[in-house]
A and B are shown apart, each in its own frame.
Chain A
Amino acid sequence: MAREYKLRMHNVAYKNLFGRKFRSILLLFAIMIAVALFFGLSSLTAGMEELMMEATNDSGIKNAIDVVDSSSGMFYGTIDRSAIKTIESIPGVKYVIPRVFALVQLEDVDLVTPLSQIERTITPEMDMLMQQMIRMIGTINIGETDFSDLSNLISLVGIDPDLEYIMGGYPSKITRGSIFTTSGGAILGEMLAKNSGLDVGDKITVICDNKQRTFYISGIYSSGNPIQDNSVVVSIKDAQYLKGFGNNEVSLLRVISEENIDNSIIGMHIKTKLPGKVNIIDHSLTASVINEQFNQFKVYEYIVIAIVILASIGFILAITMRSITERTKEIGTLRAIGWQKTDVLRLIFIESLIITIIGSILGVILGILLPYIFQTIIPFFFSDLIIPPMSELVKITPLMVVESILIGCTAGVIGGMIPSIRAVRMSPVDAFKY
C-alpha cells in the first residue's frame, strides 16, 4: 500500500516556497512593507479626512457664520443678545445660537495636554513672536504675560443646551453620562477627560481671571475635533458669571443659514444691520479652504502610494531576478518532461499568490500597528514632538483592508511573474543553458 503523497499543483507551490526560504522571506518582507506603508498612509489620510470633515461639519459649520465683536474677538469681546432678533429677521437665516467662550484653568488639575507640551518646546524668540501675533489679531489680551502661562489654559464654552440640540452641537455628541439640566453642571471633552483623569460624577473648580465656580461633571462628549474635545462645556449662565458678563452679553452668535443660501450674502446683511460692531467668520470659506488644502495633500499621498507600489514591484522583481538562473533551468526541465507553458505559469502564479496573500495580510496587521509603533518610538528620538493620539488620527475601513490586499497581491504577482514569463517563452534547450 503506497503511503499518501500530496501531489497537487499547490502542494508543489508550497514546497517551492518553503524550499527557497531566503527568497520567500525576502519577498514576504517586501510585500509586507509595501502593504503596511500603503495601509498606514491610507488609514492616516482617511482618519485625517474624517477629522477635518467632523471639524468642518461641526454644528453645521458648512452653512454657519459666527458673529463676533469687531474689536476684541470671541474670547474677550461681547455681543448683545438683542442682535439675535435682528439677525433672525434676515431672510435665509434658520437659527441664531449664542455661545460664551473663555480661557480658563482647572483648580488642582495637572493637565498633560498638548498645550503644556508646547510650552516645553517654546524658545524665547518663538515666545516673543507668538505674543506679537496674538496682539495683532487682538483676540487675547495677555499683556506682558509669558506665553508659558497659557500652558494650563483650556477653553470653556457656555451653551444653551436646548438650542444646541437643534443644530447637533455638544449635547448630541455625548458618549458617557448626560447633558446637565441645571446650572452647576458641566460636560467635558473626551481628550480633556483623558488628560485630566476626570470622569462623570467628579467635581471641578473652574477659574477665570479672579472668579471661580465648582461644577459636577454630568457627561463626556466626543466631537472628533481635538480642539473641541479639549474643552469644558457649561451652561451659558455659568459662563457669563465666570466672564463677568451681564445677562445679555455673549461672546459669539452662531448663525445657521438655510440650505443653498450663500453665507456671504447673509454676512453682508448682518454687517449692514449691525454696522461697525461685528466681525463675520464665514465657516463655509474655512471649510472650502480646508478641503482644497486637504485635496492637495491627498494628491501628494497618491504620489507617495504610487512610488511605494512601484518600488515594491521593483524590489520584488530584483528578488525574483536573482533566482532566475535556477528557475529558468527548472522551467526548461518541466517543459521538457511534458509541462505546457500554461502549467508552468499556473505554478508560478500560485506561488506568487500564496506569498502575496500572506505578505499582504501581515502587511495590513503591520499597517494597523505602524502608527502606534511610531507613536511609541518617536518620543525616544524627539522627546519634544507633540503627537496626537493615533486613535483619533487613524481610520480603518473594510474597504481599505480589501484594497491593501488587492494592491499587495497585484504588485506581488506582477513582480513574481514577469521574470518567469520570459523563461517560459524560451525553448527548453535555451533554458538548459542557464
Chain B
Amino acid sequence: MIETRNLTKIYRRGNAEVVGLKDINLKIEDGEFLSVIGPSGSGKSTLLHLLGGLDKPTYGEVLIDGENIEDLEEKELCQLRRDKIGFVFQDFNLINTLNAIENVVISRIPTGVPHEMIERGINLLSYFRMEDRLDHLPTQISGGQQQKVAIARALINMPQIVLADEPTGELDSKSGGEIIRLMREMNEIEGVTFVIVTHDLNVSDQTDRIIQIQDGEIIKDINNTPHG
C-alpha cells in the first residue's frame, strides 16, 4: 500500500514560492487501477515523482508498505525504485542504442541479469505481441511498440506499483487504447497497482478510481466504473 501524509511540494522561482502540491493525503491499496487527472501544471506529475521517490517533498511523507521513503539511504532508494516501482514515461525514455529486450532488462544490468529475468522479459514482450521485435532498436519500431517495451521494462522486476506519466500522450488513439488495455490486463493478471497520470478523459474513464487535482490539491477522488 502507498500512503501520503500532508504531502507538500513548494518550488522556488527566484524569491517567489510556487505551490506544486499542498497537503495531499492519499491511500492507494495494492492492486488498484487508478488515474490522476487535472489540467496542465495542476501537480499531477509532481505527485507521481514524489510517489516514486524521484523527487523529495518539501513537507509531508510518502509511505510504501508503512515505510517512509525519505528515511531511505540513496542506495536503498535506488533498490526501491528498481524492485517495487515501475515507471512509464510519456516519451518512452528508452535507450536508443539498446534493442527491445535489452531495454526491458536494463535496470538489472549493473548487478547482472539472471536468466529467468531475460525469459520474463521475452514472455512480456511476447504477450504484448512483440516476439518478432526483440532485437529491434527503439528507432526501428512504432511509438506504440516503444511504449509496450517501456511497460515491459516497468514490469520486469514484478513491482508493487507502476507509475505512468501520460503514457498515451505521444500515441494515436488506437495505440493509446491498446496501451491502456495492456496495463489493465497486467493489473488483473499480476495484481500490480497502476497509477496513471493523464489529461485524457478517455483514459481515466478506463480506470477504477479517478483522482482529480487542481492547483496542487485533490478536489475529487471518486470510484469509477470503466467503460468500453
Residues of A within 8 A of B (CB): 2, 5, 7-9, 12, 15-16, 18-20, 329-330, 332-341, 343, 346, 427-429, 432
Contact = CB atoms under 8 A, between A and B. Distances in A.
B151 interface: no
A15 B87 contact: no
A332 B93 CA distance: 9
A16 B56 CA distance: 31
Nearest to B75: A340
B201 interface: no
Contact of B106 (A19, A337, A346): A337
Given A2-B118, A428-B54, A7 B102 contact: yes
Interface string B87-107: 101000101111001100111
B81 A338 contact: yes
B54 A340 contact: no
B85 to A, nearest CB: 8
Contact of A338 (B79, B96, B115, B122): B79
A2 B116 CA distance: 9
A340 B109 contact: no
Given A7-B109, A12-B102, A337-B153, 8 more contacts: A2-B119, A7-B102, A19-B96, A19-B97, A20-B97, A333-B95, A334-B95, A343-B110
Contacts of B93: 329-330, 332-333, 336, 432
B87 A336 contact: yes
Candidate in B86, B106, B122 with the most chain A CB atoms within 10 angstroms: B106
17 contacts: A2-B118, A5-B101, A12-B98, A16-B95, A19-B98, A20-B97, A330-B93, A333-B89, A336-B87, A337-B153, A337-B154, A338-B79, A338-B157, A339-B110, A340-B110, A428-B54, A432-B93
A329 B89 CA distance: 12
B95 A339 contact: no
Contacts of A334: 95, 106
A7 B113 contact: yes
A428 B118 CA distance: 26
B118 A5 contact: yes
B107 A340 contact: no
Contact of A346 (B89, B101, B110, B157): B110
A223 to B, nearest CB: 57
B112 interface: yes
A299 B74 CA distance: 48
B110 A9 contact: yes
A427 B54 contact: yes
Given A2-B119, A337-B153, A340-B75, A16 B97 contact: yes
Nearest to A430: B55
Contacts of A427: 54-56
Interface in B206-220: none
Contact of A340 (B78, B86, B105, B119): B78
Contacts of B79: 338
Nearest to B111: A343
Given A7-B109, A18-B97, A333-B95, A341 B74 contact: yes
B82 interface: yes
Contacts of A338: 78-79, 81-83, 107, 157
A15 B93 CA distance: 17
A427 B49 CA distance: 11
Interface in B138-168: 153-154, 157
A12 B74 CA distance: 24
B38 interface: no
Nearest to B119: A2
Contacts of A428: 54
Contact of A429 (B54, B109, B110, B113): B54
Nearest to A18: B97
B52 interface: yes
B110 A337 contact: no
Contact of B52 (A18, A336, A346): A336
Given A2-B119, A346-B110, A429-B49, A339 B78 contact: yes
B108 to A, nearest CB: 8
Candidate in B54, B55, B122 with the most chain A CB atoms within 10 angstroms: B54
A240 B31 CA distance: 111
B115 A2 contact: yes
Contacts of A337: 81-82, 86-87, 106-107, 153-154
Those 5 A-B pairs whose CB atoms lie nearest each other, nearest first:
A338-B82, A19-B97, A343-B110, A333-B93, A7-B113
A390 B52 CA distance: 65
A315 to B, nearest CB: 23
A330 B110 contact: no
A338 B113 CA distance: 14
A235 B61 CA distance: 100
Given A333-B95, A336-B54, A337-B107, A2 B82 contact: no
Contacts of A16: 95, 97
B32 to A, nearest CB: 21
Contacts of B55: 427, 429
Contacts of B54: 336, 427-429
Contacts of B153: 337
Contacts of A336: 52, 54, 81, 87, 93
B98 A15 contact: yes
A329 B91 CA distance: 11
Contacts of A333: 89, 93, 95
Contacts of B115: 2
Contacts of A339: 78, 82, 107, 110
Contacts of B137: 19
Contacts of B52: 336
